[in-house]
Structure 1
Amino acid sequence: MSATTLLRPAPHALDAYRDAMLSGWSPYNVAGDAAIRAHLGAIARDPDAFLDSLHDPEARGAPITLPDGSTVPRLPGFTCWISDGSFCGAIHLRWQNGTEDLPTHVLGHVGYTVVPWKRGQGHATRALGLLLPKARAVGLRHVDLTTEAENLASRKVILANGGMPVGRFRKDAAFGGEEGMLFRIPL
């Protein structure tokens, strides 16, 4: 197995990304099938524009559609693809310039997901560790991450990267208002 790396989404890995979604994997933990359909449609319309949309540190892209169908302004952010020589998943960073605060509809600075056939190999833990210097580089002093209480694998990833439990919280209504756990990693 090769070392885990983070890649800026690029044409040479687009087929693997598409194949992962066609197998049922979603690049986001909260949007599921809607994200898969949106990404596959965007790739079919204009693959280069789709790839460009995944790197938007100036928040120039279109508004974001939340799971309840409402739309909100896009935050600065970018996606990296996780690789070990083949596609492993995606990790996302988003922020507001000049503050660590996030709007209530944003569940954390970082989100990640690994394809099912690569889980349990440490890719998420290593990817999060590789993303933290990038978060520091955009001016963040800490990152917040959220997970469901029963998601022990995600909690282990966060804790292995210096995350500290902050407490339980109620998700924004757009995400169903369910309870989640908030963690913070100081940078």
Structure 2
Amino acid sequence: MNATTLIRPGREALAGYVAALRGGWSPANVAGDAVVRAHLAAIERDADAFLGSLHDPEARGAPITLPDGSSVPRLPAYTRWIWDGEFCGAIHLRWQDGTEALPLHVLGHIGYAVVLGKRGRGHATRALALMLPEARALGLRHVELTTDPENVASQRVITANGGVLLGCFRKEAAYGDAEGLRFRIML
């Protein structure tokens, strides 16, 4: 197995991304099926535009549609694909310039998802470790990540990278008003 790295989404890895989507994987932990359909449709319409949309540090893209159908302004953000010689998953970083604060509808600065056949190999732990210096370079002093209480694997990834549990919280109604856990990693 090759070492886990992060790559900017591009044509050379797009086939692996599409195969993962068609195989039932989603880069989003909420509204997964809708995201899969939207991404496949966008790739079919214009693959280069889709790839470009995954790197938007100026928040120039269209507003974001939340799982409940409401719309909110886009934050600066970008995606990196997790790579070990083939596509393993995705990790996303989002922020607001000049502050660590996030709007209530944003569940955390960093989110990640690993394809089923690549889980349990340390890819998420390594991907998060690689993303933290990028967050620091943006001027963030800490990042917050959230997970569901039953997602023990994700909690291990976060704590392996220095995450400290801040406590339980109730997700916005757009995300089903469910309970979540909030962690902080100091940068």
SS in 1 for 2:91: strand
Q: CA deviation at 1:139?
A: 1.1
Number of the residue aligned with 2:166 = 166
**Which residue of structure 2 lines up, in the alignment, with residue 104 of structure 1?**
104
Show the counterpart of 1:127: 127
Aligned to 2:52, the other structure's residue is in SS state helix
Q: Distance in 1 between matches of 2:38 and 2:75?
A: 18
List per-residue Cα deviations over 1:78-112 (Å, max 9, x = no partner).
00000000100000000000000000000000000
Per-residue CA deviations over 1:60-81 (Å, capped at 9, x if unaligned) read: 0000010001110000010000
Partner of 2:149: 149
Matches of residues 26-175 of structure 1 in structure 2 within 5 Å? 26-175=26-175
Letter of the 2:127 partner, please give it.
A
The match for 2:2 is: 2
Q: 2:93 aligns to what SS in structure 1?
A: strand
Structure 1-normalised TM-score?
A: 0.99
Find the aligned partners of 2:102 and 2:173 in 1 and give their Cα distance: 15
- Distance across 2 between alignment mates of 1:97 and 1:172: 22
CA-CA distance at 1:117 after TM superposition: 0.1
What amino acid does structure 2 have at the position aligned with 1:5? T
- Structure 2 residue matching 1:27: 3-state secondary structure: coil
- Uncovered stretches (5+) of structure 1, i.e. residues with no partner: none
Structure 1 position 20, deviation (Å): 0.2
Q: Tell me how far apart the structure 1 counterparts of residues 16 and 8 of structure 2 sit (CA, whole Å).
A: 14
**Partner of 2:144: helix, strand, or coil?**
strand
Report the RMSD for the aligned CA atoms in angstroms: 0.4
| 1:31 to partner: Cα distance | 1.8
Letter in 2 for 1:114: V
Q: List runs of 5+ in structure 2 lacking aligned partners.
A: none
Could you tell me how far apart the structure 2 residues matched to 1:139 and 1:173 are? 30
Q: Distance in 2 between matches of 1:150 and 1:178?
A: 12
Letter in 2 for 1:27: P
